[in-house]
Amino acid sequence: MSARDRDPAGRARNARPRDAAGRPLPRGAAGVERVPDDLVLGADEAVTEAQRLLDDGLPFPAHDVLEAAWKAAPETERGMWRALAQLAVGLTHVQRGNARGAAALLERSADGLRRWVGVPPAGLDLVGLAQRAEALARRVGLHGVDAVPAADLRPRLRREEESRR
């Protein structure tokens, strides 16, 4: 039995490579680039990096970026970042073929995004993302993950006018 991977603080970490959907691969296998555990980005940079990963078909690493933003965000913004991370996890479940998990996380994300009050940072389109998450959850619930086109796994995080800048 091998020792568990640990970070310098002694917390358990899985250093195995991962596939595009975040599933662990055997040690030594080629996987996708991992998001550093200590990543700290500002809101604009986090949204830009998460969008790049989503556009590349990598919702699991996008979740890692959004989770890092959630953990570093001021208390007043954490619920919004958590809901964005849940959106990426919901997309990951679609990618992995897990309809039940996908629908649950997408619904949770839509609810969290709708609860946000105020002007979202980084030009985020929270209303559009909530509507998209809810519609995708409904489609998955009615027709399964196979009914989800690949383009639906690449949502636009920013309002359209913000993405053109």
Beta carbons within 8 Å of 80's beta carbon, 6+ residues apart: 73, 112, 113, 116, 120, 124, 126
CATH architecture of 43-163: Orthogonal Bundle (1.10)
Q: Helices marked H in the chain — which ranges? A: 43-55, 59-72, 78-96, 99-115, 126-143, 160-163
Domain boundaries, the chain: 43-163
Q: What is the pLDDT of residues 14-73, one digit of tens each?
A: 678 888 778 888 888 888 877 777 788 999 999 999 999 999 999 999 999 999 999 999
At 11 the pLDDT is 63
Would you place residue 98 in the very low, low, confident or very high pLDDT band (cuts 50, 70, 90)?
very high
* Overall average pLDDT of the 110-139 stretch: 96
Residue 164 has pLDDT above 60, yes or no: no
* Overall average pLDDT of the 73-93 stretch: 96
Mean residue pLDDT of the chain comes to 89
Would you place residue 162 in the very low, low, confident or very high pLDDT band (cuts 50, 70, 90)?
low
At 7 the pLDDT is 63
Structure pTM?
0.86
At 12 the pLDDT is 57
How many CA atoms lie within 13 Å of 97's alpha carbon, on the beta-carbon side? Answer: 1
Cα dihedral 95, 160, 106, 118, rounded to 10, equals 150
Residue 150 has pLDDT above 60, yes or no: yes
* Rounded Cα gap, residues 20 and 36, in angstroms: 16
Give Dmax (Cα) for the chain: 54
